[in-house]
Amino acid sequence: MRRNRISAVLVAVSMVAITFGVFFSSWPLLSCALLYLSIYVVSLKDQPPSKLDLDMEWSREEIHLHEGDDLVLELTMENHGDSVDFLEVFMEIPPELEIKEGTVHNLLSLEHGEKKKLTLGVAVPLRGDYNISRVDVRYEDPLGVFSVREVYHRDLSIHVLPAREDMRQGRIRPRIPKNRLGNISSRTVGVGTEFFSLREYRAGDRMRDINWKATAKKLEPMTNDYEGEMSGDVILIIDGFKGSNIGSARENTFGASVRAAATLSSNILGDRNRVGLIILGERLSWIYPGYGREQYYKILAQLSTLTSGGLWQLDDVQSLLRRFFPSRCLLIIITPLTNPKVTQTVYDMTRRKHNILVISPSPLAIEKRLGGAPGAITEKMYALNRNNTMNQLWQYCPVVDWDPQEPLEVALEEVGRYLR
């Protein structure tokens, strides 16, 4: 417990009034001193306890959600000490969280043994990892003379993953499958479910593969062959080169690239293909291709904390692909095409027998929505330069010009026939 500034003022004014009242024999000054001392004495009866005995905890210690989702935070408080009135509770939350319902500054009263729940509705517009660890509690007497302030540390971790789209059409499949089970038709005999051809029975064929109608017609055992279903390798490459990120903190080309990577990884892994990731951001990082849900969440965890602004360029990926990644895989390069060296790099990759798909979030479309588009002449020159770059890339691979405001699935349908 500590005395507020008002208590020092009351005592100081009272002593000054008594001194001058006695020296000048002034009853008004002595009466004023008596009034101030009375206020101070009355406040002593209602002074707060020397220490607050509160117990508080969040309803969950760790929360996972996608950017753009809403979240309700619940803090439960229980008083194990004396009853307190006018208890102030202040929750410190990261500035990136937007308050939708409730307030971070609450005023309440707690009887001994009473529990109360504080709720706060927030929106999470940006991906990343956030932590809420501090709750300030303050209590003072009705006259504001004495107060108690304590800080409680209760950790709450919020992991905001990139948003993703549900794609039912425009599925991407590697054109060169590997000798592993998957959903890609190999156009050869193998393990699968689709009928491929009919042949004579051989020792060791399974009974369920025998075609009984053909056997009855030819009077000799006949067996069905099925078209093999295989899987392939896909590497997602995100271009976060310094200077290539166009837009605001809420909407920019790098954030759109991250959302596209999250959507594509979910879609491709759902077809039982292997997916890897290479990121050109503040540092060069990668995830080796893998299968399944574990790989998907590993990719999301990497994407959720990404920041752009590095000096790594797309050309630096080539040595990494040669040394650590499988050959003849599908490379999906997600780049705003602001670096003039992209065309030459893509050409070098195609020479190494990689299949390539370029997805380009449109910086011009983002700037128009944000109201920062240049003049008419500058805009036409920029659009012409971008179209020339895309036309050059079309000589080597399909290119998707994607407005991040539109679903990625719609943009991929335009190049769907090149991906089959």
* Count of Cβ atoms closer than 10 Å to residue 238 Cβ: 23
Closest CA relative to residue 253, chosen from 89, 402, 103: 402
Helix (H) or strand (E) holding 340: none
Burial class of residue 264, CB neighbours in 10 A (0-12, 13-18, 19+): buried
d(CA 121, CA 97) in angstroms, rounded, equals 10
Q: Is the dihedral of CA 390, 394, 397, 400 positive or negative?
A: positive
Closest CA relative to residue 261, chosen from 366, 402, 396: 402
In this predicted model, what pLDDT tens digit does every residue of 113-171 receive, in sequence order? 889 999 999 998 888 889 988 888 887 766 555 667 888 888 899 999 898 888 876 67
Q: What is the DSSP string of 279-299?
A: EESSSEEEEEEE-HHHHHHHH
Residue, of 271 and 74, whose pLDDT is higher: 74
* Averaged pLDDT, 32-54: 64
End-to-end CA distance of the chain: 73
Q: Is the pTM of this model over 0.85?
A: no
In this predicted model, what pLDDT tens digit does every residue of 351-410 receive, in sequence order? 777 788 999 998 888 888 777 656 677 778 888 888 888 888 888 888 999 988 888 888
For residues 225 and 192, the answer to whether their CB atoms sit within 8 Å is no
For residues 343 and 389, the answer to whether their CB atoms sit within 8 Å is yes
Residue 170 falls in which region: left (phi positive, over 0), alpha (psi -120 to 50) or beta: left
Q: What percent of the chain has pLDDT over 70?
A: 77
Tokens 């943009």 sit on residue: 411
For residues 331 and 356, the answer to whether their CB atoms sit within 8 Å is yes
For residues 10 and 145, the answer to whether their CB atoms sit within 8 Å is yes
E-strand stretches of 207-273: 222-231, 233-239
Longest dimension (CA), the chain: 136
For residues 318 and 349, the answer to whether their CB atoms sit within 8 Å is yes
Q: Is the pLDDT of residue 1 over 50?
A: no
* Averaged pLDDT, 55-84: 87
Closest CA relative to residue 264, chosen from 195, 174, 167: 167
pLDDT of residue 276: 92
For residues 234 and 276, the answer to whether their CB atoms sit within 8 Å is yes
Closest CA relative to residue 96, chosen from 60, 132, 61, 52: 132
Say which DSSP state 22 is in.
Answer: H
The partner residues of 361 in beta bridges, in order of sequence, read 402
pLDDT of residue 150: 83
The partner residues of 386 in beta bridges, in order of sequence, read none
pLDDT band for 251, please (50, 70, 90 cuts). Answer: confident
Helix (H) or strand (E) holding 85: strand 84-91
Q: In this structure, which amino acid lies at residue 165?
A: E
Burial class of residue 179, CB neighbours in 10 A (0-12, 13-18, 19+): exposed
Q: In this structure, which amino acid lies at residue 55?
A: D
Q: Is the pLDDT of residue 8 over 80?
A: no
- Our CA angle for 262, 308, 294, nearest 5°, is 30
In this predicted model, what pLDDT tens digit does every residue of 176-221 receive, in sequence order? 666 665 555 666 666 666 666 777 778 877 887 787 887 888 888 8
Copy the structure tokens of residue 334.
Answer: 């997600």
Q: Is the pLDDT of residue 236 over 90?
A: yes
d(CA 165, CA 406) in angstroms, rounded, equals 11
pLDDT of residue 364: 84
- Our CA angle for 315, 317, 323, nearest 5°, is 130
* Count of Cβ atoms closer than 10 Å to residue 204 Cβ: 5
